[in-house]
Amino acid sequence: MIYGLLNSPSKLENVKFVVVKETGPWRGKIVQSILPFLKPGLDLNPDNLRTLKERINSLPWVEHCKLDIRGGTLEVKIWEEPTAFSLIFRGKLYLIGRNGFVLEERPLKVSQGEVFSYRGKLSPFKLENGFLKLRNFVRIEVNLVKDKIKELNLESKEVQIVLMDVGVLILLKAPSCIVYLSFNDNSWKRFASILKEGFLKPGIYDFRYSGLLVLQGRKGR
């Protein structure tokens, strides 16, 4: 909402930025993106304020904003976008917001939240409003895998998750296993059954097909 409009001057004199909820080092990026639209003398009419609010809310790092007018000062309150997970693609790590936008590219060792790797032929990203955004099908796949990992209580284990065009690859450290899964429930149910019964031994497993296929395995000591 926009407050103080009736009692405010018609021209912009000053701008104050307030980060109400901070989720990362995004303040500089947000301010840099907004300032070009905040010229001194800007008419503070409803149309301009509405357009400004839409522009701010469209930024990758902004969850939502609120504009207040106090005297000659426009106060911009920002709630920053939380990080949903990290995605590794072609040797680079990307922080992905809950809105699906790339918040930042970081060194591989500086991840945040759950980490997924992507090895599909098609880039997982598209351009939207000049910013990188995760494609919808990749977001759906990540959310599905996150739910399944939670159901299997694998969140606390050392596990690497790789999204591929032909399914999901899970690398477990204990026991040392390579597990291939598809995105359908039956595949995960077969894996869950083996995991629950304690039958998962070091080796390579493929649950993408109707029957369990063990490509390579060895008895645990």
Distance (Å, rounded) from C-alpha 149 to C-alpha 145? 6
Same domain flag for 114 and 211: yes
Residues 163 and 69 in one domain: no
pLDDT band at 6 (very low <50, low <70, confident <90, very high): very low
Same domain, 136 and 90: yes
Residue 65: domain span: 2-80
CA distance 183 to 201: 23
Statement to judge: residues 139 and 187 lie in one domain:
yes
Q: Is pLDDT of 3 > 50?
A: no
pLDDT score of 8: 45
Same domain, 121 and 162: yes
Q: Which of 40, 58, 80 is the last residue of a domain?
A: 80
Q: Are residues 62 and 132 in the same domain?
A: no
Last residue of a domain, one of 80, 114, 138: 80
Examine the domain organization and report whether 72 and 93 are in the same domain.
no
Mean pLDDT of 104-113: 81
pLDDT tens readout for residues 39-54 = 899 988 889 999 999 9
- Say how far residue 100 (Cα) sits from the centre of its chain: 5
Domain count for the chain, please give it: 2
Residue-wise pLDDT tens digits, 55-78: 999 999 999 999 988 877 899 999
Looking at residue 216, its pLDDT comes to: 58
Same-domain pairing of 73 and 94: no
Contacts 24+ apart (CB under 8 A), 43-46: 43/10, 43/11, 43/12, 44/5, 44/8, 44/9, 44/10, 44/11, 44/12, 44/69, 44/74, 45/10, 46/2, 46/5
CATH of the domain at 116: 3.40.50
Which of 80, 109, 143 is the last residue before a domain boundary? 80
